[in-house]
Amino acid sequence: MVANSFPEGFLWGGAVAAHQLEGAWQSGGKGVSVADVMTAGAHGVPREITDGVLPGKNYPNHDGIDFYGHYKEDVALFAEMGFKCFRTSIAWTRIFPNGDETEPNEAGLKFYDDLFDECLEYGIEPVVTLAHFEMPWHLVEEYGGFGNRKVIDFYLNFATTCFKRYQDKVKYWMTFNEIDNQADFNNDFAVMTNSGLKLGDNNEAAMYQAAHYELVASALAVKEGKKINPDFMIGAMINYTPFYPATSDPADILLAQRINQRRFWFSDVHAWGEYPKEVEAYLERKGFRSDFTAEDQVVLKEGTVDYIGFSYYQSMTVSAKNGDADHLISPADAVVDNPYLETSDWGWSVDPIGLRYGLNELTDRYHLPLFIVENGLGAVDQVEEDGSIHDPYRVDYLRKHLEEVKKAVTLDGVDLMGYTPWGCIDVVSAGTGQMSKRYGFIYVDKDDEGKGTLARSRKDSFFWYQNVIKTNGAEL
Ligand code: P53
């Protein structure tokens, strides 16, 4: 039966990632991660990935918003909003500072015990991403990141250590954040954050091999996780960005289909345990992903995911005027403006209907429960003299998206587990390293230069979202 509202037990909450808010980059024995070597950028100014931590550079993730020191206060605010769940990641480098140790770092494990206990005290269910752009830098330097099959073992040791330690505290897991970002294989940020790869001579070939190792690592983690606790729900996590054809010209339609295929294959493997035909044929033609063993094939089939977690921010539109389906250099090259959509101050299109479309697409493709684990608007906020923050643009964005989500659930029969808008408290932007690109219901007093008191305050959207949760989405 199709629900007439959001289901009972719907997981309302918010999402963050360790590297974007914890700070304390060297506390409790934490090692250096890929996020620790990325400088601050801006809209149109890419973050620089430096060769280790260099003097005189601004690395905003080093201090984040000091969630490490403020988590009790912050979780109390989440509880005040009525959160049923809280999505964060476990910083790999707190548990294995270099990544290749055999024994975990107790101080790191203890931090997440304390954090999860704090959440559970309020009845907030932790939702945990294992790898959210946080690979140990040592694994990049010594092993070439996921370009090296050995890294599967290091990841698996990390994953199973977390599963065992938190088996009674955490039920919902995701193996790799936005694993499909690297479809944009010539983008240094995407391949570094997903795979620990540096750009080289053939980025596309390197990406397909590394992503294959990640998918094998994910499948092994699912298998091991289920042995540790059969009740675990272990999901994929993709950046769902639908690519629309610019016109009804069949060449545009075919191009859009091709680009979508070259993004969907990651979650296809996660969900089906096998590669889709088009990508398989392409890899064969190009001689990519040559290291694929018979054992890999079995593992992929045995370690399929329980649900599809995804982020949704925007749609993109492509034109065959900029490249046809059989000669794709980079999907980014085919992108054109969509005249029907407005864009944010950072140039991201705003497309609520695209979310309903996506919920239907993913349901038809995978026949699995879905979990919207990121959605939101990055915007500049103004603090008034009395300390209040009026952010109607944020409420407007989220409300319009939730209206579409509600239709997908009540009219289209989509099985949706929950909704955790991104950056429920202001954090360092992943893409730009800015503080000023804010998503939060909770404001944090810190600027792009790293100055500020770190004081937390409630924005207008805080009270709006509190009521959404209180009414289980009946009032948006
Ligand atoms: P920021 C690119 C495109 C879409 C989502 O992004 C992305 C990225 C990488 O920037 O990342 C996800 O902070 C990611 C979060 C990130 C959030 O979206 O660039 O999972 O870590 O903060 C928003 O505005």
Domain CATH number, residue 18: 3.20.20.80
pLDDT at 1 over 60: no
Calculate how far, in angstroms, residue 431's C-alpha sits from the geometric centre of ligand 1: 6
Q: Which ligand 1 atom is at minimum distance from the Cα of 346? A: 24
Q: Give residue 306's identity as a one-letter amino acid code.
A: D
Tell me which residue of 350, 344, 339, 357 sits closest to 399, measured CA to CA.
350
ipTM field: 0.96
For residues 416 and 372, the answer to whether their CB atoms sit within 8 Å is yes
Residue 335 lies in a domain: yes
Confidence band of 323 (pLDDT split at 50, 70, 90): confident
Calculate how far, in angstroms, residue 39's C-alpha sits from the geometric centre of ligand 1: 16
Percent share of the chain, pLDDT over 70? 99
Token code pair at residue 43: 């809209």
Token code pair at residue 68: 């490490």
E-only strand ranges, 403-464: 416-419, 442-444, 456-458
pLDDT tens per residue, range 397-452: 999 999 999 999 999 999 999 999 999 999 999 999 999 999 999 999 999 999 99
Residue 6 lies in a domain: no
For residues 441 and 13, the answer to whether their CB atoms sit within 8 Å is no
177 lines ligand 1 (CB under 6 A): yes
Residue 476 lies in a domain: no
Residue 475 lies in a domain: no
Instruction: State the Cα–Cα distance between residues 454 and 447, nearest whole angstrom.
Output: 9
Calculate how far, in angstroms, residue 430's C-alpha sits from the geometric centre of ligand 1: 5
88 lines ligand 1 (CB under 6 A): no
Token code pair at residue 443: 């404001």
Q: Phi then psi for 459, rounded to 5 degrees?
A: -85, 170
Strands 243-245 and 316-318: parallel
Residue of minimum CA distance from atom 5 in ligand 1: 239
For residues 290 and 209, the answer to whether their CB atoms sit within 8 Å is yes
pLDDT at 332 over 60: yes
Calculate how far, in angstroms, residue 191's C-alpha sits from the geometric centre of ligand 1: 14
* Alpha carbon distances (Å) from 240 to 51, 70, 243, 315, 413: 31, 32, 10, 8, 19
309 lines ligand 1 (CB under 6 A): no
pLDDT tens per residue, range 73-95: 999 999 999 999 999 999 999 99
Q: Looking at residue 3, what is its pLDDT? A: 61
Instruction: State the Cα–Cα distance between residues 325 and 341, nearest whole angstrom.
Output: 24
Q: Phi then psi for 42, rounded to 5 degrees?
A: -160, 180
Tell me which residue of 186, 143, 223, 172 sits closest to 329, measured CA to CA.
186
Domain that residue 33 falls in: 11-470
Confidence band of 98 (pLDDT split at 50, 70, 90): very high
65 lines ligand 1 (CB under 6 A): no
Instruction: State the Cα–Cα distance between residues 82 and 427, nearest whole angstrom.
Output: 20
Token code pair at residue 130: 């294992």
Q: Give residue 253's identity as a one-letter amino acid code.
A: I
Residue 1 lies in a domain: no
Confidence band of 2 (pLDDT split at 50, 70, 90): low
For residues 462 and 441, the answer to whether their CB atoms sit within 8 Å is yes
For residues 131 and 155, the answer to whether their CB atoms sit within 8 Å is yes
46 lines ligand 1 (CB under 6 A): no
Residue 47 lies in a domain: yes
Residue of minimum CA distance from atom 22 in ligand 1: 430
Residue 303 lies in a domain: yes
Q: Looking at residue 324, what is its pLDDT? A: 82
Q: Cα 360 to chain center, whole Å? A: 20
State how many domains the chain has: 1
pLDDT at 4 over 80: no
Q: What is the CA radius of gyration of the chain?
A: 21
Q: Looking at residue 444, what is its pLDDT? A: 98
pLDDT tens per residue, range 208-232: 999 999 999 999 999 999 999 999 9
61 lines ligand 1 (CB under 6 A): no
For residues 183 and 262, the answer to whether their CB atoms sit within 8 Å is yes
Residue of minimum CA distance from atom 8 in ligand 1: 431
Helix (H, G, I), strand (E, B) or coil at 474: coil
Phi-psi label, residue 23: left if phi above 0, alpha if psi -120 to 50, beta otherwise: left
Residue 2 lies in a domain: no
The whole-chain average pLDDT of the chain stands at 97
pLDDT at 124 over 70: yes
Instruction: State the Cα–Cα distance between residues 178 and 190, nearest whole angstrom.
Output: 10
Provide the greatest CA pair distance for the chain.
65
Active centre residues (catalytic): 374
Q: Looking at residue 376, what is its pLDDT? A: 98
